[in-house]
Amino acid sequence: MVIKVTSLKTDNYDSDHRRLTTIQPKERTMRIPIIAGNWKLNNTVSESVSLTTALKPLVAGCTGVEIIVAPPFTALTSVSSAIADSNIQLAAQDVYSEDNGAFTGEVSAPMLKDVGCDYVIIGHSERRQYFGETNESVNQKVKAALAHGLKPIICVGEQLEERETGRTEAIIESHVTGGIAGLSATDLLSCVIAYEPVWAIGTGKTATPDQAQEVHNFIRGLLTSAYSAEVASQIRIQYGGSVKPENASELMAQPDVDGALVGGASLEAESFAEIVKFE
Ligand code: 13P
């Protein structure tokens, strides 16, 4: 069932923060906002626990939003204990497609489940760029995660050169359809899609709310064609790429933007908490 709600939010800043504009109240389906912090290759175990301990009280009162942190593999167990009595959930930054065997250096879905992961980020552009991740390997990992009750956050996004040569939609289509190939509607409903334009990651160059909305809407259209309008309307699509406390609200105000995948700004408890409280 899809529940329709009307957002009461009517005020927002325009994209260059200079003035207040009024946006029309919008109808959107009830998709619970989802804010995730991808810590990437940062934080020892003790640093991870300190960051988590600092974050917990700052977001303790936040309801109606899913809050996720994705520490490096080595800190998952400790962070899992640290968030046990909180409203924060745990994600890993990658997973291997096989459950066990002779695959030196890899970590499997049952292992991530065992340490308390709820979600797993799959197909991040840094993995595509530096570690040979392909749409096929993303798809295998998504299936492995789902088979063990982990919810995949499937990352998609074009590079600058691809955008400049008019290939954004083709790239997004191949990432989305490749990543979710063969999934049932039920499986798809356990997934989150994260749109992260590569040119916006770690560069301070955020996509404008309009640019984000355009691609998010395109992704929802792809899911409508592949499944149905009802299924597509229930899938959450996060935006990632230089999300900061200053721009989170205007991005989240877009009708098809349901969350944020935050890198740099998730490494400070205060800035991540401000993003969680985007409203
Ligand atoms: P930044 O927020 O540092 O741009 O990173 C975005 C990202 O890659 C999250 O996965």
Q: What does the pLDDT read at residue 29?
A: 53
pLDDT at residue 76, as a whole number? 98
Q: Report which protein residue has its CA nearest ligand 1's atom 7.
A: 263
Ligand 1 pocket: which of 94, 126, 242 to mutate (most atoms <8 Å of CB)?
242
Contact criterion met (CB below 8 Å) for 209 and 15: yes
Q: Is the CB of 179 under 6 A from ligand 1?
A: no
Specify the amino acid at residue 182.
G
Asked if 71 contacts 36 with a C-beta cutoff of 8 angstroms, the reply is no
Distance CA 120, CA 64 (A): 21
250 catalytic per annotation: no
Q: What is the DSSP letter of 107?
A: -
Residue among 172, 278, 165 at smallest CA distance from 222: 172
CATH number given to 33-97+106-276: 3.20.20.70
CA of 181 to the centre of ligand 1 (A): 25
Query: Which pLDDT belongs to residue 206?
Result: 86
Distance, in Å, from the CA atom of 144 to the CA atom of 134, rounded to the nearest integer, reads 15
Q: Which helix (H) or strand (E) holds 63?
A: none
Q: Kindly state if the Cβ of 117 falls inside 6 Å of ligand 1.
A: no
The pLDDT profile of the chain, 279 residues, written as one tens digit per residue, is 333 333 333 333 333 332 233 333 334 558 999 999 999 999 999 999 999 999 999 999 999 999 999 999 999 999 999 999 999 999 999 999 999 999 999 999 999 999 999 999 999 999 999 999 999 999 999 999 999 999 999 999 999 999 999 999 999 999 999 999 999 999 999 999 999 999 999 888 889 999 999 999 999 999 999 999 999 999 999 999 999 999 999 999 999 999 999 999 999 999 999 999 998
In the chain, where the domains are located: 33-97+106-276
Q: Which residues contact 164 (CB under 8 A, 6 or more apart)?
A: none
Is 94 touching ligand 1 by the criterion CB < 6 Å? no
CB of 149 sitting under 6 A from ligand 1: no
Active site annotation includes 17: no
Does ligand 1 come within 6 angstroms of the Cβ of 139?
no
Which entry of 66, 158, 162, 196 is annotated as an active-site residue? 196
